[in-house]
Structure 1
Amino acid sequence: MSEAIGPQASLWSCFRIQTRVIGALMLREMGTRFGRDNLGYVWLFLEPMMLGGAIGAIHHVTGHSLPGGLEPFTFWVIGYIPYYLFRGIVNRAPAGIVGNQSLLYHRRITVFDIMLSRHLLEGAAVGTALAGYILLFGATANIWPAEPGKMVLGMALMLGLSHGIALLIAAGSVYTELFDRITHLATYLSISFTGAFFMVFWLPTEMQKAVLTIPTVHCFELVRNGLYGTLVPTSFDIPYVTGWVAALNMLGMAALRKARRHLIV
């Protein structure tokens, strides 16, 4: 039986109700995204493995090694998983509100609830994939994370950045279809400078300063620091990324609030 929201409702009871709303939205999204047979989960694991395996095989055949003596297959897969999270959230943002507009008929569901539930589900799915690969690398190659907490923090910051960007894109999509048309192209072009497939210490000093202005680079460096520890040098600034996360999310929530007025339920 649902709890009524009245003038005397406590903050805790409101939080519990909203948590149940988001949980229900996540279950709905899970059925829509992955289907009853959960075949979507299979592809979630296969895509980074296929990409990492292909690039790793090329390095093996050509005899090319990575700076710092890093094992290619592990490096490419661990680099691609955070990017998969970023790309998945951002690419689905244009349809986030428009595709679920009918849900706003229920007064307890807000546009923010819809977006948050989608992104939490994406984060949980990709996090599960990352954990699976860590166990795989540990069992087969004895490569275990030096500091797992930093890997979790790096993924959490990537989720926060992606969430903030997605809120802005979703809000913009209420006004124009242009966002839907350019978002996929933009994410594919971004793969070269997000930090997914390079480390900062590989680059010349001047270029290092330039790439460290990109917040996603810090997330990848943090994840790799958690995996490799002091084996290779890494560069990241947690307060800098946190500032980006806060700014993007505040702007995104403000944009969503304004866009909500233009939706007809």
Structure 2
Amino acid sequence: MIRRFRTGRTILALMLREMSTRYGRSPGGYLWAVLEPIGGILILAVGFSLLLRSPPLGNNFVLFYATGFVPFTLYQNISDAVARALNFSRPLLQYPVVTWADAVIARFVLNALTGILVGYIVLFGVLMLAETRAVLDMDDILTAFGLALLLGLSIGMLNCVLLGLIDAWGQIWSIVTRPLFLASGVLFLFEDLPSGAQNILWYNPLFHILGLLRAGFYPTYDASYVSEIYVVGFSLVTLFMGTVLLRRYHRAILTR
């Protein structure tokens, strides 16, 4: 019981430290966490509205791109934050009371709460301010957010090990994932792709998450390709690998 209480206090302290470091030193603080995705969505919506008569789904460009941009950004921010958890808390990890798991959990929880809040503000702000004719399916919406959190945690855990052991991994990962924004369905639907591209991109778990979230906002959209079991299985395998490797190599990473 005492150990659990001490772990909880440590995680909370790490979260407060990151909040003050990341948001407390810049003008606007948390406001930028909301303005950044809103700006990206508006730029996409305005740009494509000049090129297309109607969005690929529904009648509102802002909602269509918001339902792709929000879960993608949620996954990306959590993955990046967890991947750098050991480096971010390296000075504090020299104390016996602070463990690598505390550092990972603190960054995950803080960024998850921030991402969920931002997603809620953006998506429901669009619903309130625009004529979207959306009919919400909260089961699909909450499941999509949960899968994005799980996937971000799992990829972040594995990358945390690889970044600590391989000096060039950050550059390699950046190059490999640079097309991910386009290859995850933020700008288009899975059904609009040729069959050859569908056969390849189906294995991208983000495509399933984005499709599931859009199904939660568009009642006429049947995302039949979505497999929640595949996303969960992919995430759990990756999470298991990252956890085992971190437990084995965290000391070596901290002493590099």
SS in structure 2 of the partner of residue 225 of structure 1: helix
2:240 corresponding residue in structure 1: 250
Q: Contact between 1:211 and 1:217, CA under 8 Å: does it hold in 2?
A: yes
How far apart, in 2, do the equivalents of 1:61 and 1:174 lie? 45
Q: 1:22 and 2:42 equivalent?
A: no
How far apart, in 2, do the equivalents of 1:194 and 1:22 lie? 32
Deviations 1:42-80 (A, max 9, x none): 222222222221221123333432234442111112211
Q: Give 1:140 shift.
A: 1.5
TM-score normalised by L of structure 1: 0.85
Q: Contact between 2:155 and 2:235, CA under 8 Å: does it hold in 1?
A: no
- 1:109 partner amino acid: V
Q: Aligned ranges for residues 10-49 of structure 1 at < 5 Å?
A: 14=4, 16-35=5-24, 39-49=28-38
Cα 1:264–1:205 change in 2 (3 A) is closer
| Larger deviation, residues 216-225 vs 198-207 | 198-207
How far apart, in 1, do the equivalents of 2:187 and 2:8 lie? 37
- 1:171 partner amino acid: V
Pick aligned residue for 1:89 from 73, 78, 82: 78
List alignment gaps of at least 5 residues for structure 2: none
How far apart, in 2, do the equivalents of 1:232 and 1:42 lie? 33
Pick aligned residue for 1:109 from 90, 93, 98: 98
Cα 1:43–1:258 change in 2 (3 A) is same
SS in structure 2 of the partner of residue 195 of structure 1: coil
Pick aligned residue for 1:155 from 138, 145, 162: 145
Q: Give 1:194 shift.
A: 2.1
Instruction: Report the RMSD for the aligned CA atoms in angstroms.
Output: 2.3
List alignment gaps of at least 5 residues for structure 1: 6-13
Aligned-residue identity in percent: 24
2:255 corresponding residue in structure 1: 264
Q: Contact between 2:81 and 2:107, CA under 8 Å: does it hold in 1?
A: no
2:154 corresponding residue in structure 1: 164
Pick aligned residue for 1:209 from 192, 199, 211: 199
Deviations 1:60-114 (A, max 9, x none): 3334322344421111122111111222233345532123112223323221221
